[in-house]
Structure 1
Amino acid sequence: MPSSAGFTRRQAMTTSAALAAAALSTPSAAQAAARSAARSAGSAASASALDVVADMQPGWNLGNTFEAIGADETAWGNPRVTRAFFRRLKAQGFRSIRIPVTWGQHEGPAPAYTLDPVFLARIKEVVDWALADGFHVLINMHGDAWQWVLNMPARHDAVLAQYTATWQQIAATFRDESRRLLFESVNEPFFNGSSGDEQNAVLMNELNTTFHSVVRATGGGNADRLLVMPTLGDTPDQAKIDGLVATFAALDDPNLVASVHYYSFWPFSVNLAGYTTFNAATQQDLTDTFDLVHKAFVANGIPAVVGEYGLLGWDSGPGTVEEGETLKYLEYLGHYARYRGLTTMLWDNGSRFNRRTLQWNDPSLYAQIRSSWTGRSGTASTDQLFVPRGRTPADATITLNLNGTRLTRIDVVGARHLVRGVDYTVSGSTLTIAAATLGRLTASQEHGTNAVLSLRFSDGTPWAVNVITYDKPVLTSATGTTASLVIPTAFNGDKLATMEAVYADGSPAGPQSWTTYKQFNVAFTPDYTAGTITLPTAFFSDVTDGAAVTLTFYFWSGTRLTYTLTGSGTAVTGTSA
């Protein structure tokens, strides 16, 4: 256990008072104060750990590749990794890559659990490419967590034997790699059939301490390699963080890194329970979480990574979380992570940065993320202005979230800029677009986006506002089954925000019975091209047979439409109000 400089975790924790001021200072000052406090305790090694992890910001995940279950790294739809890909990713500004790896499917039987040398060589080839291109690299044990590690309560000795053998081989293979390579013990671990929280904590500690002892025993570069350890499930709550703090204190090793994952406040992340916007409650969840991680680790000289971040709704389907609300979340996450001295690693399963075209599928998302690495961007209460078709527009107001910036101008994408004092006015944080300007911008009267305003601030990335012409949407009566009811819908330029489902007595109908507002792209799915809203089996499986259900569809324009479902057995009829 490398603590030759005389530094211990107990000494590190005595520095918390000195770091209290840093918690309220600039992001760079917070990290610098943590490093300075560690150095004053007498440990160049611990200071170096903080430096290394700070230098890893920003990070990115090579998701759905080497953790894919199947024949090879292409099994989940991504192409083979190339050296050219890493070079292109480097040009995007990323400084570290987390490479999730599932090892068990490439192992032989007990007791040796010999790793397939071809697979192991391929992992080493990719790691070496990334290191040669200047990245910090983190490799882990990923899908194994839900394939066999989870069985530890019932098969304790067998699981621990495989875990030990696997890490012995990984550590030996990468023993002499540079210190820019980090190991992570296991991804989002959990345990099936445990007796509860107490046993979970014991098993989690056993995995992390076994990982630590196995890697350190291999010597060489592994003697002081940074070792990343997660909380149970990579969950950032107090009890699980306390468990990891206790493990770190017992190990007394200055080269440990804490890991948690963050996918936002769950209802917002999947658009459930009416959380359609990045509101105060959603923001508070983020600040509370990052405050907790900072206080437990960074403020005590222990580096911490948010090993995965994003939104769970990204995988549900397009439009689950509205674009502007997504961008506000990402802007704030980047800002607050810097403030709390946390290194963040974007989860990307291939849907963010396209590995075939080497382009971002959503350039605005990337622009917002990249901007947040160094500063703040102005945003607004909305990125949509709805103008009724066939009517003279009224002045429209938008609340600006200036975030320390100021609005400098407004451009119209593809046309001339707007004139301040004529086309728009600004009073404090209130932006008003003149009615005449909106009339000019929507002169075509075509449903949908007629113009895009680019709000330019004194710092950060511009904020886009879509000027949308719409008519009230129309729902048509339909018949179907509990396998699928397809509701013909004329969206007329509008877009769906959420859906509410209740029985006659007002109680929640359908899945997630604790809320009347259902999950977007799970309980209902709009298709703007086809002109439909589909209610799938996932909705009807939790509806009482024969009970009438009233649906309320909420649109971003503010329009609300009701729709009644009746049926018996598998037959369903939908009627527009």
Structure 2
Amino acid sequence: MKSTLFAALFVAAGMTGAYAQSSSASRAPARAPQACHSVTPQTCAIANALGRGINLGNMLEAPVEGQWGVKLEPAYIDIVAGAFTTVRLPVRWSNHAAPTADATLDEAFAKRVDQVVDALLAKGVYVILDMHHYSQLSGSALHWNEFPVEPAVLEPRLVNMWRQIAVRYKDRSPKLLFELLNEPTGRLDGEPWNELAPQVLAVVRASNPTRTVLIGPGEWNGIPALSKLRLPADRNLIVSIHNYDPFPFTHQGVEHLATPFPVGATCCDAAQRKALTNALDTARKWSQEKGYPLHLGEFGTHHVADMKSRETYARMVRDEAERRGIGWTYWEFASPAFGMYSPKTGTWLEPIRRALLD
């Protein structure tokens, strides 16, 4: 899920009740081709193949695995690979690396990530390996059990973590994609991220010259920030965007927001749908002008929302993204807060599964 402060960025999106009712597979919208004139044919093919995906969230990006109520169990690999084409794997590498500029990775943790990456690749899915929740880099408050580092080493640590990660996975399948940083924001918004991202990409390219890499804009990977994004000169990039509109609905009852939204908001009316379609149209227009394909890396709903509205929202975002040819990864699989699968019962939350996959 997305961090807390996404609220400042996004407001309303949605669809009519009639739209929500039409949930048959036959209604799947025709897919538009992605814009790809600035990338290689291989990267274009990957962008178009990512399709429907899921985030294995709140597991390896917790400060300590299990701290946020769920661990990445081996059985989850089979479950997600059997349902989705793509799995996004958020990892908090920064809390498992030396606090010094060299950021030497903890080998035991890195091997844990290896196991998950290799198990997913063995199932034939695309894997987006994501640098997630390096809180201090954006100037955000540290999570419990997340250690601080000296400000002078924040950016060098990001570069050197990726230097090691890239070498570690340089011989893996092209179905493994790297995402340089989840939701840059705060002190990274605008030019700071435009200047840092090429440095990180350069160390990746030293060992992975053609691997597909995802880079998103600042302001929490927000669509409005695409206009400020300056991409490095590289033909193997996909641009990651996130959208949780309508935010008062998707994040109702989330207690860690500065001003929590009240419970009871529903989705999705015509005005809400128009807000979402306008945002996705803005993203697609940017993509067509710049020639870089898009991936919707996150969208989802907090569990306190009513299930019918959660189903309606999931179907809406899925259909509107696919109508524009944009692959997606839902936030998320099995956490208590935003999950679509119950570890306690070992079953999907069927209305959400149906909305995303049927």
| TM-score above 0.5, yes or no | yes
Amino acid at match of 1:366: R
Contact 1:268–1:282, Cα closer than 8 Å, also in 2:
no
Q: Which residue of 2 aligns with 1:46?
A: 40
- Residue correspondence of structure 1 range 412-431 to structure 2 within 5 A: none
Amino acid at match of 1:363: E
Contact 2:186–2:219, Cα closer than 8 Å, also in 1:
no
Task: State which structure, 1 or 2, has the greater radius of gyration over its C-alpha atoms.
Answer: 1
| TM-score (norm: length of structure 2) | 0.79
Distance in 1 (alpha carbons) for counterparts of 2:212 and 2:52:
17
Amino acid at match of 1:365: I
Distance in 1 (alpha carbons) for counterparts of 2:68 and 2:251:
22
- Residue correspondence of structure 1 range 419-498 to structure 2 within 5 A: none
CA deviations over 1:208-266 (Å, ceiling 9, x no partner): 11121110122xxx11111101111334343x10122xx22xx2322111111111222
Q: Which residue of 1 aligns with 2:356?
A: 369
1:302 aligns with 2:292: yes
Q: Which residue of 2 aligns with 1:292?
A: 282
Amino acid at match of 1:76: W
Contact 1:201–1:243, Cα closer than 8 Å, also in 2:
yes
Amino acid at match of 1:223: P
Alpha carbon RMSD of aligned pairs, Å?
Answer: 2.4
Deviation at 1:49, TM superposition (A): 1.3
Contact 1:150–1:189, Cα closer than 8 Å, also in 2:
no
Higher strand content, 1 or 2: 1
* Percentage identity across paired residues of the two chains: 28
Q: Which residue of 1 aligns with 2:157?
A: 162
Counterpart of 1:188 (choices 183, 192, 204) is 183
- Higher RCO (CA-CA < 8 Å; seq separation 6+): 2
Distance in 2 (alpha carbons) for counterparts of 1:97 and 1:352:
14
**Counterpart secondary structure, 1:257:** strand
| TM-score (norm: length of structure 1) | 0.50
Q: Which residue of 2 aligns with 1:259?
A: 240
Distance in 2 (alpha carbons) for counterparts of 1:331 and 1:354:
20
CA distance 1:300–1:31, shift in 2 (3 Å): farther
**Greater Cα offset, 161-170 or 323-332:** 323-332
Distance in 1 (alpha carbons) for counterparts of 2:320 and 2:170:
35
Show structure 1 runs of 4+ deviating over 6 A: none
Counterpart of 1:119 (choices 89, 109, 114) is 109
Distance in 1 (alpha carbons) for counterparts of 2:267 and 2:99:
50
Distance in 2 (alpha carbons) for counterparts of 1:308 and 1:291:
17
Deviation at 1:155, TM superposition (A): 7.0
CA deviations over 1:76-120 (Å, ceiling 9, x no partner): 2213431x321222222x011111111122112423221111111
Q: Is there any run of 5+ residues in structure 2 with no aligned partner, and where?
A: 1-28, 141-148, 253-260
Q: Which residue of 2 aligns with 1:110?
A: 100
Distance in 2 (alpha carbons) for counterparts of 1:155 and 1:209:
22
1:76 aligns with 2:36: no
Higher helix content, 1 or 2: 2
Paired residue total:
309
Contact 1:149–1:159, Cα closer than 8 Å, also in 2:
no
Distance in 2 (alpha carbons) for counterparts of 1:48 and 1:120:
28
1:234 aligns with 2:220: yes
CA distance 1:303–1:106, shift in 2 (3 Å): same
Q: Is there any run of 5+ residues in structure 1 with no aligned partner, and where?
A: 1-25, 193-198, 372-577
CA distance 1:131–1:277, shift in 2 (3 Å): closer
